Amino acid sequence: MKDLMGKAIWDYHHNENPEDLQTETSISELDELPVDYLFRDFEEMNSLEQKALELAQGKVLDIGAGAGSHSLYLQNERNLDVTALDISPKSIEVCELRGIKKGICQNMLDFTGGTFDTILLLMNGTGIFGSLATVDTYLQKLQSLLSDKGQILIDSTDILYMFDRDEDGGVYIPAEGYYGELDYVVHYKGESEDPIKWLYLDFETLKNAAENNDFTIEKVMQDEDAYLAKLTKR
């Protein structure tokens, strides 16, 4: 892994000529991702993120912490015990440089740091699952990391709107696989990561998977095609 996201975060934090990231997927064109977006404060976050941070309580695990903006808010403004977890070494270094007390660079499937009262997966938190075939593996891991009365706060988007429609409103979607399974590529300063599998889940599909893995699930908030869900143990 070239850790291009981490490089951009590192460059921005150190003012080392940062450039905007570029991202693309198997169904979308090249798109700019301003690196300063990853450093936004609470007021600049979208309504789903703000709601999740308001609901967070107890001991918190922030999975896919990135530059650490969610973790920092919870640690500094809410005075919560937060662990920032990310597979990007440079991102975790920047998290710590920004003042996050607990930063861990590890894949969540390998993480064994006890249990948590709140687990956050934000900025399309279902993306980390990769594909429908591996959703159960991730949900079972989340079960093991969640305290008995804990909550998982996760967001995603139903991307059905991105597909073409016919005159009658029917949607042209791929015949193979689930339409939310995408290949995702990051570009930075002329370099490109290898494509990764990234999963957008509609709420009903997430609901079915969650219930099959002994969770109770509720939709906390909807914002156009995006939503925030809360999972708790049955």
DSSP state of 195: P
CATH number of residue 28's parent domain: 3.40.50.150
Count of domains forming the chain: 1
Mean pLDDT of 34-60: 98
Q: Which residue type occupies 140?
A: Q
Q: Which of 213, 211, 216 is nearest to 233 (CA)?
A: 216
pTM for this entry: 0.94
- Residue 163, pLDDT score: 72
Q: Are 22 and 186 in contact (CB under 8 A)?
A: yes
Tell me: the pLDDT tens digits for 59-118? 999 999 999 999 999 999 999 999 999 999 999 999 999 999 999 999 999 999 999 999
Q: Residue 33: exposed, middle, or buried by beta-carbon count in 10 A (0-12, 13-18, 19+)?
A: middle
How far apart CA 172 and CA 9 sit, in angstroms, is: 37
Q: Supply the range of the domain harboring residue 131.
A: 4-233
- Residue 168, pLDDT score: 60
Tell me: the pLDDT tens digits for 116-137? 999 999 999 999 999 999 999 9
pLDDT of 170 above 70: no
